[in-house]
Structure formats: structure tokens, C-alpha cells
Amino acid sequence: MTTKRFLVQFLVFFGTLMVFLTFAAAESRVVIKDKNGVCEVVAAQEKTTGIIAGPFKTQEEAKNVHNKECPMEENPTKTSASYYETPVIYFNEPGPGDTGQVLECVRRRTRELNIKVVLLASVSGDTALKARQILDPEIHIIAVSHVTGFVKPNHQEMTAGVRQELISKGISVLTAQHAFGGVGRGIRKQLGAYQVDEIIAYTLRIFGQGTKVAIELALMAADAGLVRTDEDVISVAGTGKGVNTALVLQPANSADFLKLKVKEVICKAARF
């Protein structure tokens, strides 16, 4: 009797558990926006109102769409007569895993500030292609590659095929002498004497490699005539692969380097 009773209880428990799991798995999720403009992921119900996306089978799917469709509502800019507040993100470890979030932050800030040009360090072209997927279509992306010969003589890391693909998607591609690593670097490599451009580069690296490169891109793009020096842009760079730093800045020509203005830090690496 004891064995039979145990088997019956086990079968009842197992059947109840399976029903519960089946119901939970079938419960779909939707993304809603309330009357205050705040987005959240909730379980789909018959009378759910304010749905802007869904239904989705999993919480993860719904959350991904939530992050893409509603990045601006979570951290609105606060302003007063003398100052304004806007979120800054600091990454614990630099790496390609930060790229998606950086580009989402850039998208948010281009909308808020009505900025139309984004400079982007992209050695292979992968980051530029990802930016085209995330940033709004009207944003002009300028991808800045390594100079030819950076790794070895006569070698360009961005292939001709990728360059053409970027151009076909409306992305400008700039390959030019690095503002902080041109003739001065040649003197240092040959004679062992650091010149002012590399001293500036080492100084800017106090704030991280991404900060140094983001500023460098603005000088290079201005010298190439791809950006104006009287209009703000967002410049995006990183450490190694991917990006982790985004700055709002007013570009300047290399000859007027000290007129360049870094106006906002959108995100950067905290440890580097």
C-alpha cells in the first residue's frame, strides 16, 4: 500500500509540474509603453494596453526589443538654467562586447542633440557595418581605418571588398595619416626621440585609448574636409577590437588642434 500510495502521489505531482511548466512556457511577453512614456516587458494578457511590440516567446527576446525600441525613455536628460544632466556609461573591461551598447548610447544621443554625423574607428569594417544596422538611417557614418602600412609595408587591413560594401551602404571611409602618429612617429622609430604628436597621444591615453583615438579621428576628418569645424559630431573609438568610448565634440583641423572641444562623454572604459 505504501508503494502504491507513493507512486500515485509522485504521478500527481509530476503531472501538475508538467502542466505548470507547459503553461509557463506558453506564456508570451509583450513590450508596453505607459501613459508616462515608460517602457516595460510584461506578460501578455487579453486586456493588455499600450503594446508597442510582441508577443514574444521568451523574456530575453522581449527585453532585447525593449532595449532597442525604448533606450531614450529610461534616462531622460535633466536640464536647468545653468546645467544639464545626461547619463554616462563606464565599462569595466574594454573589449568587443561593449560595442552594441556603445552604439545604442550613440543612437540615443544623436536623437537628443540632433547630431547628424558619427565618426567611427573601424579597422576591419565590422564595427562600421554594425553601426549602420543600429544608428538611424539619416546619420552619416564616417569610418576611419588604420593608415596603410600600419601593420606592415604596403598592407591595408580593411579589404577592398569591405571598403566597397561600406561605401555602398552610404558610409564614408577615410584612410589617412594618423594625426598623432605620422612623421613624428617616424623620427621616434628611427632616432629614438619622441615628438610633440606622440607626447599628446600619450597624454590623452590617461583617459583611455578610446579617448585618444576619438579625438584623433575628429582631427583627421576635419583635415579631409569630411566634417565641419563649427558643427558637433560624435566620435567613437575603443581599445583593440570593438569600441567602448563615445564623445560629443566639436572638430578642429590638426593645425588648430587646441581649438577642438570635447563637450560630452557618452561612455568610456573605466579600467584600461
The H or E element that residue 6 is part of is: helix 2-26
The model's confidence at residue 127, banded by pLDDT at 50, 70 and 90, is very high
Burial label for 113, CB within 10 Å (0-12, 13-18, 19+), is: middle
The stretch 114-139 carries a mean pLDDT of 96
Find where cell 543600429 sits: 134
The H or E element that residue 204 is part of is: helix 196-204
Q: What is the per-residue pLDDT across 79-125, written as a single tens digit (0 to 9) for each? A: 677 889 999 999 998 788 899 999 999 999 999 999 999 999 999 99
Q: How far, in Å, CA of 123 to CA of 126, rounded?
A: 8
Superfamily of domain covering 82-269: Pyruvate kinase, C-terminal domain (3.40.1380.20)
Helices (H) and strands (E) in the chain, counts: 8, 12
pTM above 0.75, yes or no: no
Give the model's pLDDT for residue 23.
43
Q: What is the per-residue pLDDT across 148-157, written as a single tens digit (0 to 9) for each? A: 878 889 888 8
Q: What is the per-residue pLDDT across 191-225, written as a single tens digit (0 to 9) for each? A: 888 889 999 999 999 999 999 999 999 999 999 99
Question: Which residue has better confidence, 235 or 24?
Answer: 235
| Per-domain boundaries in the chain | 28-70, 82-269
The model's confidence at residue 50, banded by pLDDT at 50, 70 and 90, is confident
